[in-house]
DNA sequence: ACTTTGACTATAA
DNA sequence: GTTATAGCCAAAG
């Protein structure tokens, strides 16, 4: 928490809190940050996360449909899927299987 | 200060 | 059921 707690920084904080083997959606993060309709900004923050020195588990953030919408932004298109599979998440056709089961909602998990 | 953008989401057809 | 369109808001050019 710095003096500048900008939207991006908040996003990074939440994303880093996503448990291994779980996934969440852009909208859920945006809502948790207070701007439910700023889902696009979350994605944009993720895009910038590659420039950070910290490792942001951006692969755990997918769109509302469980689609790996950001796979194209990784070093290799298959890297995102590979990382998720490494955590025990089944991926098929770039979609997270059992998305509803693996979904991690910060509003429920953090805002207890 | 204005315009463009973007890893989304909800709604309409 | 799918596909197309509009709204959305914060940062970058």
Cα–Cα distances (Å) from A106 to A61, A76, A93, in that order, read 12, 28, 26
Closest by Cα among A89, A33, A80 to A56: A80
For A65 and C5, how far is CA from C1' in angstroms?
19
Output the CA angle A102-A107-A109, nearest 5 degrees: 55
Domain ranges of chain A: 7-109
State whether the beta carbon of A48 lies below 7 angstroms from any atom of strand B: no
Q: Read off the pLDDT of residues A22-40 as tens digits, 9 standing for 90 and up.
A: 999 999 999 999 898 999 9
Closest by Cα among A45, A51, A42, A54 to A16: A54
Q: Read off the pLDDT of residues A53-92 as tens digits, 9 standing for 90 and up.
A: 899 999 999 999 999 999 999 999 999 999 999 999 999 9
Q: Which architecture, in CATH terms, is A7-109?
A: Orthogonal Bundle (1.10)
| A111 has a pLDDT exceeding 70 | no
Nucleotides of chain C touched by protein CB (<7 A): 7-12
Which nucleotide's C1' atom has the smallest distance to the CA of A34? C9
Q: What is the largest CA-CA distance in chain A?
A: 42
Closest by Cα among A72, A57, A75 to A21: A57
Quote the pTM value.
0.92
State whether the beta carbon of A33 lies below 7 angstroms from any atom of strand B: no
């Amino acid at each position: 928490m710095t003096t500048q707690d900008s939207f991006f920084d908040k996003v990074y904080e939440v994303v880093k809190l996503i448990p291994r083997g779980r996934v969440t959606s852009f909208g859920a993060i945006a809502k948790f940050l207070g701007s439910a309709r700023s889902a696009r900004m979350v994605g944009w923050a993720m895009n910038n996360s590659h420039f950070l020195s910290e490792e942001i588990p951006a692969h755990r953030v997918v769109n509302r449909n469980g689609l790996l919408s950001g796979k194209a932004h990784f070093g290799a298109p298959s890297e995102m899927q590979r990382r998720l599979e490494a955590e025990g998440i089944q991926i098929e056709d770039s979609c997270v299987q059992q998305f509803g089961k693996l979904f991690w909602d910060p509003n429920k998990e953090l805002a207890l």
